[in-house]
Amino acid sequence: MNMPARCPVIGPVAPSKARHTAAGSLSNADWWPDQLNLRILKAHAGAPPPIGHEFDYAEAFKSLDFQAMKTDLQAAMTTSQEWWPADYGHYGPLFIRMAWHSAGTYRTADGRGGAGAGTQRFAPLNSWPDNTNLDKARRLLWPIKQKYGRNISWADLMILAANVALESMGFSTFGFAGGREDAWEPPEDIYWGPESEWLGDNRYSGERQLENPLAAVQMGLIYVNPEG
């Protein structure tokens, strides 16, 4: 931690004699050492991604009955479930938090993250300490995803759910723009920085060259400050 780090995409921000590289930062496997390695399944994969190379999401999205889907979303967020009861009978705030935490991963340092690929479904984001219980929000959306299938991506559905939540509670939105295509596996080339513990809050003194902030101030925190 006493050495400045290096982003593998944009390179160093300030000169230094010693730097961490992408190879020196922790990978998804380091953060989740007990995860099942499924790479062997790719050995004989016919046509990755599973959805197929010929699939045109933009065209599929155009075929949606958009108003019907928004009606279904509003019904879902106002129907409390016994396995996770809604606060005051409305899941809207939970959906807004889900979308905020999806978009809030965007970082200006290298353009990674954000709501554009639905990566909140995958490790490590799906189990970040600050994303606690957002799996319930995605579970609430599962019947709608099943109904509309490939015509709505998870990435779009999570953001749309928040839009509908705002509208259902009296807020006027600017509308919705679809087109976010889902990632189908967690990216393995993300530079997470030199941290080695969740929500680490150690402070360091002394003068040294530092890189630009990656996003939040701690690994596993979603607050969009200073650069989310």
Please write down the HEC assignment for all residues of the chain: CCCCCCECCCECCCCCCCCCCHHHCCCHHHHCCCCCCCHHHHCCCCCCCCCCCCCCHHHHHHCCCHHHHHHHHHHHHCCCECCECCHHHCCHHHHHHHHHHHHCCCCCCCCCCCCCCCHHHCCCHHHCHHHCCHHHHHHHHHHHHHHHHHHCCHHHHHHHHHHHHHHHCCCCCCCCCCCCCCCCCCCCCCCCCCCCCCCCCCCCCCCCCCCCCCCCCCCCCCCCCCCC
- The per-residue pLDDT for range 180-214, each reduced to its tens digit, is 999 988 877 777 777 777 777 777 777 777 666 66
Give the pLDDT of residue 24: 55
| Residue 194 near residue 24 (C-beta atoms within 8 A) | yes
Q: Specify the higher pLDDT residue, 27 or 144.
A: 144
Q: For residues 139-153, give the mean pLDDT.
A: 98
- The per-residue pLDDT for range 85-141, each reduced to its tens digit, is 999 999 999 999 999 999 988 877 778 888 999 999 998 889 888 899 999 999 999
Give the pLDDT of residue 76: 98
Q: For residues 52-56, give the mean pLDDT.
A: 86
Q: For residues 148-163, give the mean pLDDT.
A: 98
The total of other beta-carbon atoms located within 10 Å of residue 46's CB is: 6
pLDDT at 51 over 70: yes
Sole residue written with tokens 């155009």: 62
Q: Of 20, 44, 90, 101, which residue is the catalytic one?
A: 101
The question of whether 101 is a catalytic residue gets the answer: yes
pLDDT at 59 over 60: yes
Peptide bond into 129 cis (omega under 30): no
pLDDT at 19 over 60: no
Give the pLDDT of residue 125: 86
Q: Both tokens of residue 24?
A: 């020196």
Peptide bond into 49 cis (omega under 30): yes
pLDDT at 21 over 60: no
What value does the mean pLDDT of the chain take? Answer: 81
Write the CA distances from 203 to 1, 2, 101, integer angstroms: 10, 10, 26
Q: Specify the higher pLDDT residue, 188 or 19.
A: 188
Sole residue written with tokens 């899941």: 91
Spatial distance between the Cα atoms of 76 and 92, rounded to a whole number of angstroms: 10
| Residue 173 near residue 167 (C-beta atoms within 8 A) | yes
In percent, how much of the chain has pLDDT > 70? 79
Give the pLDDT of residue 94: 98
